[in-house]
Every structure is written in C-alpha cells, then in structure tokens.
Amino acid sequence: MSNAFVPRELHGYRIFGYNVGYFGLYLTQLLIAVFAFQFYVYTINLDSILASIGISINLLTTATFSIIFGVLADNKKPGKFGKRRPFLLYGMPIWLLSSILIWLPPFYSPRDNPLYWPTAIYFWIIMTINAIAVSSILSPHASMLPEQSQTHENRKKVASGNTSLMIIASILVMLLPFIVQSLLKEPENVKWWEPSGKTIIFYMPLIGGIFTLFGLVSVIITFFSVDETFHGKIANDEPFKKTTVKQAFEKMMIPAKDKKYKKFLATSFFNNISAKMMAILIIPFLTYVLHFRGTDFFLYIIISITCKYGWFYAWKWILKRNDIIKTYALCILSSVIASFLEFLYLITILSFEIEIIIFIITVGTVLGTLYCLNLFSTPIASAIIYENVNGDEKNDVDQVVSKISGTYLGLNSFIISIGQAVGSIILGLTLTGPNEENPIIIIISMASMGLFFLLSFIYLRKIELVRLK
C-alpha cells in the first residue's frame, strides 16, 4: 500500500514557471500573427494575396509539425534532463533567428509591383522556418501538462492562470506597435518609401527583438521550473511503445468519425475564421474607417482591456448558473449580432463619438467572445471524449482517456489552424490592390465575421452532452 498512486500537481513557482514559457512564446507569435500581414502589405508593399499565402503556410506548417514533434517527444526515452524538457531548447536558436528576421526583409516590393516574388518567397521561407521551430517547442510544452498536472482542479488552476496571461499578452502585443502608430504623422501613408513607413521599418525589428528575447528568458524559466524526474522512476514499470508519425495521423481519423466531435470541430473552425479576420482587420479598421491619429490608438488599448476582462468575468459568472452549451451559444450569438452591427459604419454622417460607442458594442463584444472561447471549448471537448469511452471501472476509463485525449485535442488544434488559414486567404483575396485602404471593403469584411459566427452557432446548438447536464 505504500506505493499508492499520488497524483502530481503544479503549485507555487512551478505553476508560474510552466505558464510563463507559453506566455513568452505566445507573446512573440501573436505579434507575428497580428502584425506580419500589416507590415508586409501596408509597409513593405507586398500584395495581400501573397502575404496571406505566407500566413497560411505558417499556420498549416505549425499544425502539421505540432503533431510530428508531439510524436517525437512521446517517443523520446527519458535522459539526464528528462523526457520533454530538452525539446524546449532544441529549436530555440532557429526560433530566435526567424522571429527577428521576419521584420528584416532584404527585399522591398517596388512601388509599381506589389507582386514582387523575391519579397514573397523570403516571407514564405521565414514563416515556414518559424512555424517548424515554434512547433518543436510548443508541442512538447503542451504535452507536459497531463504529466505535470494530473488532477482536474489543478488543471483548471493552470488554465485560469494561462488565460489571464494570454489576455495580458494580447494587450502588450498591441501596446508597443500602437505607441509607434501614435508617432506617425500620416498613419494612412506607411509604405516603405514614405516617412511614416520608414519609422515603422525602424521600430518593428526592435519590438520583435524585445519580444523574442523575452520569449527566450521565459522558456528558460520553464526549463528549470518543471520537474521530470518521475520519468526515471516509472521507466521500468511499463513497456516502452513507440508511435510513428503515420500512426499519429491515422489516429486522428478516430475523432474525425465522432458525430458529436465533428460538430465541435465545425464550431472551432468557423470561430477561428472570424478570429483571424479580426486579427488582420483591426488596424486597417482603426486607420481607414475610424481615422485614428496620434493618441487615438490608445483608446483601443483601453477598450480592449475593459471588454476582454469584462466579458471574461461576465461569461464566467453566467456559466456558473447555466448549462454550458446554452451559455456558449449565447456567447457566440452575441458576436453574430455585434458583427452585423458593423454595417452601421456605412452611415457616413456618424460623429466620432457615436462611432466609438458602436466600436465598444461591436468590436468589444467580439473580442470578449474570442478570449472566452477556452472557458467553454475545453470542458466540452473533455465531456465528448469521456462520453466516447466505455469502461467498467473509473481507472479503466482514465487510462483510455489518457491515450486518446491527445488525438482528439490534436485534431482540434489542426482544425483551428485550418480555420485561421481560411480566414487569412479570404482577406488576402478581398484586400488586394486598392481594396487594402478602402473603408467600405474593410467594413463589409468586418461585418462578414457574423456569417461565420452564425455557422458556428448552428453547429454548436446541435451538440447534446450527457456528462455536463
């Protein structure tokens, strides 16, 4: 009885150490996700279609290599530094280099030729390298959690801290570039040959470098915070079975055939099309629709902080008192309505004050929804997984869940990346040429998020759960 199982949990500096690694990487990758498109289209003068292809390549490469590095981490035998910890450092040099070189293109698209292939090819290559490098770190980091935190309550504690850090990261990512935006005399004219464009070209590599170095320090903190000595104790208890990459992809067909999970995946897919569209459109919307100048950009920071945290706590409060599917559906429905209200900006006689009020109601609500998705998606996915496991005893169920949960969540991550890639391609085709500065096109694109939220809402309402009733 002395060998009774005692679940491992993360507490104190270890829970901070684990979360801060993801925070540092997420901060840098979010900067790339939000500003790389803006930087290459509006400053480097690359055509939006070619830029969106680069963004999509990055997303799909990340999705694919996350699975590959997940398998490599699973198959690695524990060594002196543990099983997954070494992966935190393997890809770090390449990630550091690529995260900085993204902001230092050696070729600028000529004034009269946005379809300039040297710039496009450079962007595609760097985005591919960056995706592979970050996958080699993030995938093993994510797969540590089930081993480091083995109780539901502790994982909720880890997830809560992680969500708060994600919101902070989203604020920091917008803050520094917006400080640069506030310095521009002509924020609507930021091509590389224009004075405002030269300012952006000078500052963006500095901002990217600062975020990247912070990411390095964060991952090093994680490396020394997590404890994998338990691998040495259990190494001889069970036979070591390796999984091939082919087998990993084949296993993804299991959740793909699950009727409830397919509806859940459809919800994730459409939500992330809208999420990517919001990330790409927000700066053009502020610049060419609301005509922000100077310190006006800090209004967005204030609205962003207020709405993200406000809706986060509001939906958390509602969730405690209502069914999770109904609450999630209400959350998405609010964004359907808010997105379609963007059409009000087509009324050109609105005062600046009225436009800001509409912005708080519309964009603020959508931002609140996007940063609350994990409140609902994680427990719903877990419930679907458990409903598809048949075991006579609790221990049998837990063992089976531990073997299939990675496959289910891995497929969801893959679908999320595809959804974001589709969102990127849609806007790449829409914002090409003069459309990139056309306020009417930008308004219609923002409002079209409502269509994808509506499709998400329709699929979500078809899910019926037993475990969460």
> What are the tens digits of pLDDT across the range 19-45?
788 888 888 998 998 889 889 999 999
Backbone φ/ψ region at 12: left (φ over 0), alpha (ψ -120 to 50), beta:
left
What is the rounded distance in angstroms from the CA atom of residue 169 to the CA atom of residue 67?
Answer: 25
Residue (of 49, 92, 351, 73) closest to 213 by Cα position: 92
Residue 436: per-residue pLDDT: 86
Residue pair 448/302 in contact (Cβ under 8 Å)? The answer is no
Residue 392: per-residue pLDDT: 42
Residue (of 198, 241, 258) closest to 465 by Cα position: 258
Residue 419: per-residue pLDDT: 92
Both structure tokens of 172: 């920091």
What is the rounded distance in angstroms from the CA atom of residue 364 to the CA atom of residue 306?
Answer: 8
Residue pair 443/286 in contact (Cβ under 8 Å)? The answer is no
Indicate yes or no: pTM above 0.85: no
Residue pair 407/254 in contact (Cβ under 8 Å)? The answer is yes
Residue 401: per-residue pLDDT: 56
Residue 444: per-residue pLDDT: 96
Both structure tokens of 449: 């998020």
DSSP 3-state assignment of 205? helix
DSSP 3-state assignment of 79? strand
Residue 1: per-residue pLDDT: 44
Residue pair 45/109 in contact (Cβ under 8 Å)? The answer is yes
Query: Helices marked H in 285-393 — which ranges?
Result: 297-321, 324-340, 352-370, 373-387
SS3 content of the chain, % helix, strand, coil (to 5): 80, 0, 20
Spell out, as residue ranges, where the chain has pLDDT lower than 50: 1-2, 391-394
Structural domains in the chain plus CATH codes: 10-235 (1.20.1250.20), 252-469 (1.20.1250.20)
Residue 94: per-residue pLDDT: 93
Query: Helices marked H in 184-194 — which ranges?
Result: none
Residue pair 8/150 in contact (Cβ under 8 Å)? The answer is yes
